[in-house]
Amino acid sequence: MNATLVLGVIALYFLMVFGVSWWTTRRRDRDTETFYRGDRKSPWWVVAIAMIGTSISGVTYVSVPGMVEAKQMSYIQMVIGFVCGYFAVAYILLPLYYRLGLSSIYVYLEQRYGRYAHKTGAAFFLLSKYLGCAVRMYLTAVVLQLVLFDQLGVPFGLSVACIMLIVWLYSFRGGVKTLVWTDLLQTLCLLAAMIGFVICISSAMGLDFKGLCGTIAESPMSRVWFFDDANDTRYFWKQFLGGMFTTIAMTGLDQDMMQKNLSCKSLKEAQKNMVSYGFGFLPVNIIFLSLGILLYMYAREVGVDKSGDELFPYLATGINPTTGQPFLPLIVSVLFVLGLVAAAFSSAGSAVTALTTAIMVDFLRKAPSGEGSNGLRGSIEGKRFWVHIINSIMMGFMIYLFHLLASGSVINAVYVVASYTYGPLIGLFFFGMFTKCKVKDGWWIPMICIASPLLCWILDQNSEAWFNGYKIGYEMLLINGALTALGLLVASIRKN
């Protein structure tokens, strides 16, 4: 694909994003309340659409279509679990956050347990977000390197620096107030690109709408339900429960996702946003999986031997070695780059803003209204500015580190990381919310939260030998949270 064309598409796209960013902060309303909670004025439907783009990221965009050959459409079982998880977030967690008026959701842990628990929860979020966002952005950076930066002679490290500079430029001014609107734009661009891509590839295969539906339905890759083998990682209850608790952890206990919800005008509007977002997530993922089936079928037609994360980028931007022509029309390459950039930057900008909020509120104790700040006030804009810069640099470093270490499916890596880092957060929050046990604050709380993932890793390495061939899948997150809660229960019994 021509580098000049790619650069032009990206430049035009970011002109629109920077225009939206400037418009949302045109009145120089850049105080902490605006940055952390958007002045609590974000329309719920804007937040709902924006969160779709934040959730999808470059990983879903590339990896989900590529996974259908190995796992068929079993991912839908997990997405159904996601929807149930969004209801739990809307009606269990959001009322708590709004009642306490939080800017950072981890302040709750200090109110429930004490300072050690607060710092531990916030630290696990920072670790989760650095690792998770680095995994997501790594895949995007690799694809952009192939279609753009390699042709310009730019090394991978410098291209990552350019990507994070752009993220910082459009997110540092207005924080979450800016992000809900820029993410709205990016989500709409992403969905338009995906629908356009399905139409283009269907046309290339000579399929009308009826033929498209029939082709997908008749494909052996379209199998959704797996109830027959509990040892299979695609087994329904593994996928469903894993999906539900993954949503509770990666949305409900994640400052990144909750920060947008906390910018809504009221609890009722935040709940409407969450439920609408949950239902909208299902058809979006069906489109991604259906596209994956079409990609594999088209690849066989043109003699392409690619799979997994390589398939989508190769067909969208590659040249057929037999004919010397692109596999698909030029518009497909443009749509692919547009969708990839929209997905990736929506996720990265949101993550960097949430990391800045967590560090400022949870560690530097600089909340907008004294919440969790012990009365500390003064000028915090300068500190927030530098924290935002440092977070952008750290994210770039993590992306480059993952580039040196990564292998395999990136979508799988995201959920593996989440299983280990979000489990202790599930245990801390749900033990605190659903029991009245008092746990004396102290060093054993971080020790419990570190021990639980370690035990889960040992369990994962030996589960097949210990449990007659049973391989633990995404349900590891639930096990991790349960071990954390059990540790807290033991600590509370000792105190009593």
Q: Render 144-188 in DSSP notation, one character per residue.
A: HIIIIIHHHT--HHHHHHHHHHHHHHHHTTTTHHHHHHHHHHHHH
- In terms of residues, how long is the chain? 496
Note the Cα 284 to chain centre separation in Å. 15
pLDDT score of 172? 65
Judged against a pLDDT cut of 50, whether residue 427 lies above it is answered with yes
Partner residues linked to 326 by β-bridges: 319
Residue 431, classified by CB atoms within 10 Å of its CB into exposed (0-12), middle (13-18) or buried (19+), is: buried
pLDDT in tens, 336-375: 777 777 766 766 777 787 788 788 888 877 655 544 444 4
Out of 128-137, 172-181, 193-202, 296-305, least confident range: 172-181
Segment 75-91 shows an average pLDDT of 92
Measured CA to CA in angstroms, residue 462 lies from 449, 456, 465 at distances of 21, 10, 5
Q: Which residue has the higher pLDDT, 204 or 296?
A: 296
Q: Band the pLDDT of 388: cuts 50, 70, 90.
A: confident
3-state secondary structure of 326: strand
* 250 within 8 A of 414, measured Cβ to Cβ: no
CA torsion angle 310 311 313 314 (round to 10): 100
pTM for this one? 0.76
3-state secondary structure of 467: coil
Judged against a pLDDT cut of 90, whether residue 483 lies above it is answered with yes
**Please, what is the average pLDDT of the chain?**
80
Q: Which residue has the higher pLDDT, 314 or 275?
A: 275
Q: Band the pLDDT of 425: cuts 50, 70, 90.
A: very high
Segment 198-224 shows an average pLDDT of 87
Go through the domains of the chain in sequence order and give each one's CATH number.
3-409 (1.20.1730.10)
Judged against a pLDDT cut of 70, whether residue 409 lies above it is answered with no
pLDDT score of 357? 79
* 261 within 8 A of 72, measured Cβ to Cβ: no
- The amino acid present at 450, given as its one-letter code, is I
Judged against a pLDDT cut of 90, whether residue 446 lies above it is answered with yes
Angular region, 164: left φ>0, alpha ψ -120 to 50, beta rest: alpha
Q: Which residue has the higher pLDDT, 18 or 215?
A: 215
Residue 153, classified by CB atoms within 10 Å of its CB into exposed (0-12), middle (13-18) or buried (19+), is: exposed
